[in-house]
Structure 1
Amino acid sequence: MGRIFEVRKSKMFARYDKMAKGFTRIGKEIAIAVKKGGSDPENNPMLRRCMQNAKSINMPKDRVEAAIKNALGKDTSNYDEVLYEGYAPHGVAILVETATDNTTRTVANVRSHFNKGGGTLGNSGSVAFTFKHLGVFKLSPEGLNTDDLELELIDSGLDELGEDSEGNIIVRCDFADFGNMQKALEEKGITAISSELEWLPMNTVEVSEEQAEDVFKLIERVEQDDDVQRVFHNMA
């Protein structure tokens, strides 16, 4: 009984850590959006996107409002968005998105995480060219016809339309068309469950289960860093 309790407790803490990390990530994205485009979501599409993503992970409304208010303060941090590139063990390419108020600290920490995890931090441009930078919109299928939607979104930069494992509609577009796609969906009265910019590998690397475990250990180490927003890889 004690062992079962410990496992349940461990899973509970893991879920809490994941939720807390998600709230922190969205909070930084809100701060960046407000600094760039102001606190009115009606006139700031980047902030609208952040608020919708906050809703998708059940971030409390008062916490969202607090993040917006804090971003308006004179003494709040200005975050720089920096992409780090490198390799995990076994030749797996890694991209690390960060939002930091101290790039010197962040690059030192990320390099340390790679070194301790058996990887190597590379130079800018050493890995990113093997990925496609895409906008990814998750939509509820309710009331939508995918064939019609596909035709309607082609002129807005649609790259791919499909479904995820939960039956949600997934719309992908090129990074440069992200704003056009967001506007097109809004004009059609479609509110995305979430909308993100993601890095999709153009080629993947096959690894064994043991090798995959090595890679995931490095990714987990990197993801625990407070400055890290998200990590992408090309492992199959």
Structure 2
Amino acid sequence: MNRTERRHFEKEMSKILKKSAGVCGVCGTELNHNSQTFGGILEPYGTVLTGECCVNKLEVIMGAGVYINKNINGIMSVMKTGQGISHASPSDALSAIRQIRSGIGEIDSAADDLMREAGIERPPTDITVTDAPWKLDDAEWFNRHPGRSYRMRSLHPDEIPTLQDAVTDVVIPPNHCWEILVRQVNKGQRIRTAFCRNMAVFIPDADDVIHAIFDIVVKGEGQGVISAKDVAALVDSYNR
């Protein structure tokens, strides 16, 4: 493949990556999270992105990568890899991919274990592994309140992108605002969820009250409205 053909491939692959629907470009099979992908040439399709399902059909393999469909913030910086491997040897590139997949697998496993330990059945929707102002704020708050496991706080401005779906897809009523419920499961390991708060309702800063609201929200209960009666019933059950 000459330089002109390579540039054409890179241009077409860039378009594919931007509009990829998370499926193999040959057979249409849905790509699994943390699975290996391959870019290459296959006539009559031309430039295609495939999964392991169809890699053997490619006439020419031009590159390889990893498909990720979970929001793992800062994964590349944590892995200390991925920089400058686009022109590496095939063995170096495949070694880097194996390292990335292994690291992602470890992070996924740790997050799943944390959710199970917290008694939450749904999978995590965002895993943040890099430092951020809101993470440091939570860590400092729990250090100052060693007897607490739950916190309700304002949404940090730089936290909005990590809660994109929850914040932008819902039209909130007047006199409501987004706040964050935080549960510290273990020191340094916390779970967050967004909470649309009615500012006209007083909520005491008590661990069992925030605990009850957190449980209702993460379980999707309350049919969109959390009643004081439901919160009180849960608080009562915790204290029995």
TM, length-normalised to structure 2: 0.28
Which protein, 1 or 2, shows the higher relative CO under an 8 Å CA cutoff with sep ≥ 6? 1
Structure label with greater radius of gyration = 2
Question: Where is the helix percentage greater, Structure 1 or Structure 2?
Answer: 1
TM, length-normalised to structure 1: 0.28
